[in-house]
Structure 1
Amino acid sequence: MSQKDSAAPVERWSPTAIARALERTIVVIEPILRTVASAGVLVLMTATVVDVVSRTLTGRGLPGVIEITEIVLVATVFFGMMTSGRDGQHIRVTLLTDRLPEAAARIVRTLGLISALVIVGWLTWVTIEKAIVSVQTAEYRFGLISVPIWPARVAIPIGLVCLALVLIFLLVAQVSKYASVVGREREPFEDLLDSPIAEELS
């Protein structure tokens, strides 16, 4: 085996290669979840407007609108987490890291990402168990009409897993000093057209 061939597996599993693979995955998955979350916002707006018009004209709201909007809202929020993570829109405080030397700031950011990943991982594990039970029992909510809530239960761990994927990428990129637009503070819904990965996939 040549020296070049023996080095290939090492390069394939290097932090930079892992970061690039994670970035590719994020670029593929994020637009799908963003589209679903955007559709959820549209459903919420439409249901609210129709309910308000119904109350104004007839004095009665549409049955089940409140229950349905609650379910859709949960899915919309958790499906939008990956986009927020990709665009660097999650709340963060840089009061300390902005005043630290770059090496120290990198260590602090790494520890913060590890802490966030542990919390998100625990939440994912708990919500997966809840989602499985909810699907098995066909869980639904009592109201003016019976509304299944298991889709919202399923949406929560999906959103958390995708958020964890972004956190893992940011952690690997932090360690390997891999430069990417993912996680960098950007305008909401700004396309990734300036990303080398996006250019390769197009």
Structure 2
Amino acid sequence: MRRALDTLYLTAGWLAALCLVAILVLVGLQVGARLVDWGLTALGAGATGFSIPGLAEIGGFLLGASTFLALADTLAKNVHIRVDLLTQRLPERPRQILDGIVALLGAALAAFATYALAALAMKSLSYGDVSYGLVAVPLAVPQGCLAVGLLVLTIALVDEAAKAFSGNDPVHGGGEGI
């Protein structure tokens, strides 16, 4: 089970990275085309006029997808920012229990957000909603990506809670003293 969860988190992280690479490629193409046009104009030739329609909108959708898809992987690797002013002062077992409770509360919130986003994506799909930009992107696609990211985050938070309750807490020492 541990291997399957780690693979799920890693896959979501790689999908997030691919979204960022897609943004890089699209923006790089647009900037490169503008530089070529500037050079052609400086030489007295006509500009190509190459433009990626809806770049800002598509980049926004990709950025949202990358953010939500990366949440579970960063949580699993313990690179989220954690405020532990209270918990660092607690003895180990009460701290683990509090960490588990907080992770379960986060999982409940993430589960609700997953449900709401998935329902919104299904509505958008049934109504045929598309974005208002130059390129009509079906809104169910970015909404579905966000919902998938939140679903994987929900799973990761439940996993963190289970690790904390079992005493296997990698954030604060991996269960030493138990």
Q: Same fold (TM over 0.5)?
A: yes
Partners of 2:52 and 2:147 in 1: how far apart? 30
Amino acid at match of 1:176: S
Instruction: Name 1:68's counterpart in structure 2.
Output: 58
Deviations 1:119-139 (A, max 9, x none): 111111111110111222232
Question: 1:45-84, aligned counterparts within 5 Å?
Answer: 45-58=24-37, 61-84=51-74
> Which of residues 3, 7, 10 in structure 2 aligns to 1:31?
10
TM-score by length of 1: 0.72
What is the number of equivalent residue pairs in this alignment? 161
Inter-partner Cα distance in structure 2 for 1:167 and 1:126: 18
Residue from 128, 139, 152 that aligns with 1:149: 139
* CA distance, structure 2, for counterparts of residue 58 and residue 150 of structure 1: 36
Tell whether the 8 Å contact from 1:54 to 1:62 is kept in structure 2 after alignment: no
TM-score by length of 2: 0.80
Contact 2:93 2:167 in 1 (8 A): no
State the Cα RMSD in Å.
2.0
Aligned 8 A contact 1:67 1:147 in 2? no
Identity %: 22
For 2:70, give the aligned amino acid: G
Deviation at 1:151?
A: 1.1
Q: How does 1:8-157 map to 2 (within 5 A)?
A: 21=1, 23-58=2-37, 61-157=51-147
* Contact 2:17–2:66 under 8 Å retained in 1: yes
Q: 2: distance between equivalents of 1:136 and 1:99?
A: 51
Deviations 1:2-39 (A, max 9, x none): xxxxxxxxxxxxxxxxxxx3x23312212322222111
Which letter does structure 1 place at the counterpart of 2:161? L
Structure 1 residue 41, shift from structure 2 partner? 1.0
Q: Is 2:108–2:154's contact at 8 Å kept on the other side of the alignment?
A: no
Cα offset, 1:53, TM superposition: 2.3
SS where residue 81 of structure 2 aligns? coil
Deviation at 1:54, TM superposition (A): 2.5
> In structure 2, what is the Cα distance between the partners aligned to 1:130 and 1:155?
12
